[in-house]
Amino acid sequence: MEFKTSKRMANIKASEIRELLKLTEMPEIISFAGGLPAPELFPIDEIIEVNRIVLETDGEKALQYTTTEGFPPLREWIAKRMNDQMKTNFDADNILITHGSQQALDLSGKVFLDEGDVVLCESPTYLAAISALRAYGCEFVEIPTDDDGMNMKALEEQLKTLDNVKIIYVIPEFQNPTGRTWSPERRKKLAELSAEYGVVVFEDNPYGELRFEGKSELAVKSYDKTGNVLCAGTFSKIFCPGFRIGWIAGDKELIRKFVLVKQGTDIQCNTMAQMVIAKYVELYDIDAHIETIRKVYKHRRDLAIQTMEATFPKEVVFTRPQGGLFAWAELPEHLDTRVLLEKALEQKVAIVPGDAFFPNACKKNMFRINFSNMTEERIVEGITRLGNVLHTFLA
């Protein structure tokens, strides 16, 4: 039977990452595809205890509806942490709890985008952001990006030329997919351009607390003097993703608009999950937990990069991220990493072809590697296999 669906459905495609994640259910596959945290690092014993405490002391509240904005103590904790890290001046009313930062992206589309509006983004950019925003009929304009982040001259040229830019979407810390980190000069300049041209910046920051080395830089929001910068964060990378709890933070007037559209979407996020996280950060040292995660991921990053250096052909260049979950590799221009994926899967190794991260430009010679989810032994074995495939592929 043929169903009459909305025009919007023509812009919606299956997530390539979600499809690839199905491969991770096959134990023989060494997967560098998804951005999955390491499950052995989830604080399961503590979560069991916190669940017990929440249900015994406040079970009726935990199992009831809560406000759309989210559980107040959790919002207060997030606001204080952002104030400490970003030099903001937030309170709970600057925070909306969302189903991961992914929902914050979807709500941004509802709040800001009409058919034909423009989103400016890094090139490449996070593929699920492309999916979330494209559903609202927007057009993407890619801004060239190098090791210091988005090219500000190219960005300003587009802001001067285009009159319907609604969002500038960026991931300045350990960007997905490249792992690159923006320089402080470009962060400051982005905030200035946002104010000058009256365009909202969506600063996505799921990986900022996963720095392995080097100096932490102030967020774009730290330079914001007009309230144009919205920040999204999540507990998925620093705690566990299964709770699906993230947030969007910003000017209170803007957050109220997000609350309105969330009320029409799902009313609220899971009350129990919010209360469990709030109780966890009250009773346990989340910074110590994050430090444990950092140490494991740094070791895995080091192993991945060392093995890539030892086994990849010299024609393959790749990033060396100072944190986060990803490295980005580039092959000679004439090669197609979708074909590489087919060859890699024959050797029971999975990667993500890079063309999925470009909303317009079809650049087929790049791929992304995740190093957080596999054990050390499987990282070495999988990248060694991938290196062998690359030698044959390039030959």
Contact 171, 145 (CB under 8 A): no
Top pLDDT among 281 and 26 is at 281
* Distance in angstroms (rounded) separating the CA atoms of residues 328 and 180: 9
Same domain for 181 and 231, yes or no, is yes
Residue 238 token pair: 């620093």
In the sheet that 317-318 helps form, which strands lie side by side, from edge to edge? 317-318, 326-330, 366-370, 352-353
Mean pLDDT of the chain: 94
| CA dihedral of 248, 211, 307, 337, whole degrees rounded to 10 | 20
pLDDT digit string (tens) for 170-195?
Answer: 999 999 999 999 999 999 999 999 99
Same domain for 294 and 264, yes or no, is no
CATH of the domain at 381: 3.90.1150.10
pLDDT digit string (tens) for 44-59?
Answer: 999 999 999 999 999 9
Same domain for 342 and 328, yes or no, is yes
Whole-number pLDDT of residue 18: 59
CATH of the domain at 179: 3.40.640.10
Same domain for 72 and 196, yes or no, is yes
Task: Let me know if residue 2 belongs to a domain.
Answer: no
Task: Let me know if residue 202 belongs to a domain.
Answer: yes
Same domain for 12 and 127, yes or no, is no
Number of Cβ within 10 Å of residue 274's Cβ equals 23
Same domain for 299 and 259, yes or no, is no
Task: Let me know if residue 115 belongs to a domain.
Answer: yes
DSSP 3-state of 181: coil
Same domain for 170 and 277, yes or no, is yes
Same domain for 232 and 313, yes or no, is no
Domain limits for position 244: 45-283
Whole-number pLDDT of residue 23: 65
Per-residue pLDDT for 358 more than 60? yes
Residue 301 token pair: 């990053």
| All residues at 6 or more sequence positions from 90 whose CB lies less than 8 Å from its CB, including other chains | 79, 82, 83, 249
Same domain for 184 and 247, yes or no, is yes
Q: How large is the C-alpha radius of gyration of the chain?
A: 21
Number of Cβ within 10 Å of residue 302's Cβ equals 15
Nearest to 30 by CA among 355, 393, 346: 346
**How many domains would you assign to the chain?**
2
Structure confidence at residue 34 as a pLDDT band (50, 70, 90) = confident
225, 255, 283 - which closes a domain: 283
Largest separation between any pair of C-alpha atoms in the chain:
65
Same domain for 209 and 351, yes or no, is no
Task: Let me know if residue 382 belongs to a domain.
Answer: yes
With vertex at residue 190, the alpha carbon angle to CA 189 and CA 196, rounded to the nearest 5 degrees, is: 90
Task: Let me know if residue 364 belongs to a domain.
Answer: yes
Number of Cβ within 10 Å of residue 41's Cβ equals 15
The proportion of the chain whose per-residue pLDDT surpasses 70, expressed as a percent, equals 94
Task: Let me know if residue 264 belongs to a domain.
Answer: yes
- Average pLDDT (289-311) is 98
Contact 206, 178 (CB under 8 A): no
- Intra-chain end-to-end CA distance of the chain, in Å: 48
Whole-number pLDDT of residue 1: 63
Task: Let me know if residue 73 belongs to a domain.
Answer: yes
Same domain for 251 and 353, yes or no, is no
pTM over 0.85, yes/no: yes
Task: Let me know if residue 1 belongs to a domain.
Answer: no
Contact 136, 113 (CB under 8 A): yes
Whole-number pLDDT of residue 11: 62
Whole-number pLDDT of residue 26: 78
Per-residue pLDDT for 157 more than 70? yes
Structure confidence at residue 21 as a pLDDT band (50, 70, 90) = low
Same domain for 251 and 321, yes or no, is no
Structure confidence at residue 336 as a pLDDT band (50, 70, 90) = very high
251, 283, 315 - which closes a domain: 283
CA atoms within 13 A on the CB side of 84: 7
Whole-number pLDDT of residue 166: 98
Whole-number pLDDT of residue 362: 81
Residue 350 token pair: 């999975």
pLDDT digit string (tens) for 71-119?
Answer: 999 999 999 999 999 999 999 999 999 999 999 999 999 999 999 999 9
Contact 124, 97 (CB under 8 A): no
Q: Would you give the DSSP letter of residue 219?
A: P
231, 252, 283 - which closes a domain: 283
Whole-number pLDDT of residue 27: 84
